[in-house]
Amino acid sequence: MGSLTTGMNKHKTSKSSPAQEKITILKVQEPAELMSFLIEAMPSRGRNALKSILARGQVFVDSKPVTKYNHPLQPGQQVSIHWAKVMEQVKLVGVHILHEDEDLIVIQKEAGLLSVSATKDVEEVTAYRQLMEYVRRSNPKNRIFVVHRLDRDTSGVMMFAKNEKTQQALQNAWQDAVLERSYIALVEGEVKKPEGTITSWLKESKTLLMYSSHKEDDGQKAITHYTVMQTTREFSLLQVELETGRKNQIRVHMKDIGHPVVGDKKYGSKTNIIGRLGLHARILAFEHPTTGKALKFESRIPEKFMRPFQK
């Protein structure tokens, strides 16, 4: 098997014989990130082509498949590209990955998908179980850790940790770490106050229904801010900012002001013009627990939410 040294003299390349599976082997001679390393080692292949072979699981570092472009490489490691071998892809249902690094995954979840199962039913499809399978494709020891939840019928941005340290760091400093948590709510009726703040103490009934108490410290304190974006006599579109993140908080508070979320029969809705719950987690901004960098992820308002305001 022949070998050649690149002009930069930073890594060596060799190829298998035609009778074997076509593999390109690269020797790492200086610290680098995987994507930068591939671009320099194979300048004839465009960045997008290299991104594709990474995404398809065709790049291996020391015989382990790696899909992260910023995976750190150290001298002495071996990078191999298996041109004919494609790692079996995990088909994510109702989940779109917005961001992934060594510590966390940020996703957009579709309405109707459970974030995390409350039971041990291994057949139940959840965002958590799908992501667990996804991260274990590259390393069977990888895991996913729950940071927060979205209701099954709420769509939008949410995140999971990839290690226990990150999970604990985020949960322990949630109020300080989260810089913005904004929702879009389609509610029944005309909300006449252009903006407002709702404060109450949330409790849970024996039937697992959340409700408000206005007696101080009688439950978990919940604070919700809202701004009216559009309104008619029948419906209003609100931007909702959470100061606290309690179970069913927005749904309960919208019921409290007499404007339940569309499609939320559990909390008093009488209409379902869009065929789903009218609640969408639009923005999640937070300080990364490891890097300290401020990250912001935004999801489009579902088109269905605009139907009541189209002539």
Give Cα separations from 197 to 240, 248, 254, 279, 308 (angstroms): 10, 16, 11, 18, 24
pLDDT tens, per residue, the chain with 311 residues: 333 333 333 454 454 443 345 888 999 999 999 999 999 998 888 888 888 888 777 888 988 888 888 899 999 999 998 877 554 556 889 999 999 988 999 999 999 999 998 776 666 789 999 999 888 876 778 899 999 999 999 999 999 999 999 999 999 999 889 999 999 999 999 999 999 999 999 999 999 899 999 899 999 999 999 999 999 999 999 999 999 889 999 999 999 999 999 999 999 999 899 999 999 999 999 999 999 999 999 999 999 999 999 87
- Tokens (6 digits) for 23: 């593999």
Q: Which long-range contacts (CB under 8 A, 24 or more apart) does 247-252 make?
A: 247/202, 247/204, 247/210, 248/151, 248/202, 248/210, 249/202, 249/210, 249/222, 249/224, 250/183, 250/185, 250/224, 250/279, 251/151, 251/210, 251/279, 252/200, 252/202, 252/210, 252/211, 252/212, 252/222
Q: What per-residue confidence (pLDDT) applies to 89? A: 59
Q: What per-residue confidence (pLDDT) applies to 203? A: 95
Beta-carbon contacts of residue 24 (< 8 Å; ≥ 6 apart): 13, 14, 15, 42, 80, 81, 83
Residue whose tokens read 């101080």: 216
DSSP-based three-state secondary structure for 290: coil
Instruction: Give 196's strand partners.
Output: 226
Q: What per-residue confidence (pLDDT) applies to 7? A: 32
Residue 131: name the closest of 171, 155, 98 by CA. Answer: 98
Beta-carbon contacts of residue 206 (< 8 Å; ≥ 6 apart): none
Cα-only R_g, the chain: 24
Residue 38: CB atoms within 10 A of its CB come to 26
pTM (2 d.p.): 0.72
- Per the document, the length of the chain is 311
Q: What per-residue confidence (pLDDT) applies to 58? A: 85
Q: Return the DSSP state at 271.
A: -
Q: How far apart are CA 229 and CA 239, in angstroms?
A: 7
Residue 277: name the closest of 260, 264, 259 by CA. Answer: 264
Do the beta carbons of residue 260 and residue 271 sit within 8 Å? Answer: no
Q: What per-residue confidence (pLDDT) applies to 21? A: 55
